[in-house]
Structure 1
Amino acid sequence: MSPLPAAPQLHDRFPYSAIVDRPPLRWPNGARVAVWVIPNIEHFLFDRPSSSIIQSTTGFVPDVLNYSWRDYGARVGIWRLMEVMERHGVKGTVALNSDVCEHYPRIIEGGQALGWEWMGHGTNNSTMINSQSEGEERELVTTVIETISGVTGTRPRGWLSPGLTESHRSLDVLAAAGIDYVANWVNDEQPYPMRVASGSMLSLPYSVELNDYTAFLEQGQSGEAFAQAIRDQFDVLYEDGLTTGRVMSICLHPFLIGHPHRSKHFDRALAHITSREDVWLATGSQIADWYRSSQPAG
């Protein structure tokens, strides 16, 4: 058996760029901040561990406690999240496991009625990207795109991998399949172009910090503390956006933010954001399209 090729120590996807050296970025109508909200709507396989609130049962098969806790998001939490976001005129850009189309079609129906955007998020949240063969990865991407396209009538343009996982070829595979923006790279407050073998690709700002998974499961924050972090993030970006436009992402999971004791605080955070002028409530594709149209040719 031949040894596996060594992983490169450096990537070649984009050059370093200091935000203070870039030309000013201007959003539509002079907005200082483009705000996009990303609900992660997911399906989990029953025979393996995944996101858990209680660790003592994660070795059980089945782990009914944690599985059913996650299932709350599809049955209850997403509907509360939809209501809160609609109240403030915020359209979601959904990171969608394509298995949701089969198992929870009512959620697709609800999102379609609200005019939400759908981007690829793997087939389910129990299957990661980085450990797959090239053939398996290409088949997975094709399956996700075709499934979402067939059910929603719109081909997804964006992609967020389960667990933000990638192989070294993922960006090339995604670009070849027609995906034109990804949210896996959490290193900026503005979009930026990425090098791919063919086609084009943008990285859109996503966050592991302004993310209810990190806040609630990793850091043990309360719903009130997470909402305050959202307000604090917005206030600073709003001031920074006077000089050059910024992107604020709010990254959510219905089985977390959808609980009443958390959603009430998220509601108030959105009220804070939408009370200000010069804010663009956008979807991923809207941000990508505006960025591309506003950049100098070449």
Structure 2
Amino acid sequence: MNHNRFDFSPIVTRKPVKLPDGARVALWVIPNLEHFHFDQPSTSIYGGTAGLKPDILNYSWRDYGVRVGVWRMIEIMKKYNIRGTAALNSEVCAGYPEIIEAGQELGWEWMGHGSTNSRLITNMDEAEEHRLIKDVLDTIQASTGTRPKGWLSPALTETVHTPDLLREEGIEYLADWVNDDQPYAMKVRNGDSLYSIPYSIEINDITSFLSFGHTPEQFYQMIIDQFDVLYAEGETNARVMSICLHPFLIGHPFRSKYLEKAFSYITAHEGVWLATGNEIITHFKTAHQEEIYNQITN
């Protein structure tokens, strides 16, 4: 089947994207703030116990993120004036209110990320998914005072209805589609548009450490190599660079050292816009209205 959400658009034929103050790269940092259920399997560092109930080894390894890792990440981001766009499980709001309070103080943006990463979206019927999305957004709004404008599905899972339901609940941008270095418009059923924003499944500590088996130093090298190429390309056509982080991974001391080195390298360059997801999409919609109209009407 064809998804019918957007038409093919080679980056080399597009009108160049311009960023504020002539920036070449918009740096978009996404801390994934997640809650995991004690009796359900999820991201694991050791597969030998992943099917057990309870799986103390992997559950407590993930729990390090909210108890310790996120606080180390917060200090590093503060040092380089980087505001996070937190992909937020709504269950974090009740479970770890201190994290919400810290993010509020730092001016972080809150992006919907399902209720828990122990529950994925694929195979939900439309009514169930709609209830879930509305409940997640309502919960985050009640906790933070702001209704999310962005959404990242747990494990980037969707049904065929997800973009339509998100837009109908007020979501303006979606991070699940990891197929570009620039935002683009997606068609939804109410005739409006939803915007895809460049999330990364590779400049991402989950895949780097758990799938590829990279060392922290290799992850650092990936980040700066990615930045160097996008920065060079961005001289004529600006790019978005996302760095996707999970505190139960990057928050460990031997890894966080290299995250700090990467932030130091990137922020030492001129022409880097330290932006939130909503800032990126708001600018893109304003600066590229004609191209967006053509994308959703063709």
**Distance in 1 separating the partners of 2:219 and 2:23:** 24
Question: Counterparts of 1:52-201 in structure 2 under 5 Å?
Answer: 52-198=44-190, 199-201=192-194
Q: Helix, strand or coil: the match of 1:56?
A: helix
Q: Helix, strand or coil: the match of 2:48?
A: coil
Matched, 1:265 2:255: no
Partner of 2:296: none
Matched, 1:289 2:270: no
Partner of 2:7: 15
1:100-142 CA-to-partner distances (Å, cap 9, x unmatched) read 0010011000100100000000000011111111111000000
**Distance in 2 separating the partners of 1:59 and 1:184:** 27
Q: Number of aligned pairs?
A: 290
List runs of 5+ in structure 1 lacking aligned partners. Answer: 1-8
1:7-60 CA-to-partner distances (Å, cap 9, x unmatched) read xx1110000000000001110000000010000000011111110111111121
Matched residue type, 2:181: E
Instruction: Using structure 2 for the length normalisation, give the TM-score.
Output: 0.96
Alignment RMSD: 0.7
List runs of 5+ in structure 2 lacking aligned partners. Answer: 294-298
Q: State the 1:167 CA deviation.
A: 0.2
Matched residue type, 1:104: Y
Partner of 1:226: 219
2:246 to 228, 241, 253: 253
Q: Helix, strand or coil: the match of 2:49?
A: coil
**Distance in 1 separating the partners of 2:40 and 2:15:** 48
Q: State the 1:168 CA deviation.
A: 0.3
1:86-108 CA-to-partner distances (Å, cap 9, x unmatched) read 10010000000000001001100
Q: State the 1:296 CA deviation.
A: 3.6
Partner of 1:50: 42
**Distance in 1 separating the partners of 2:160 and 2:177:** 13
Matched residue type, 1:275: A
Matched residue type, 1:74: V
**Distance in 1 separating the partners of 2:61 and 2:254:** 15
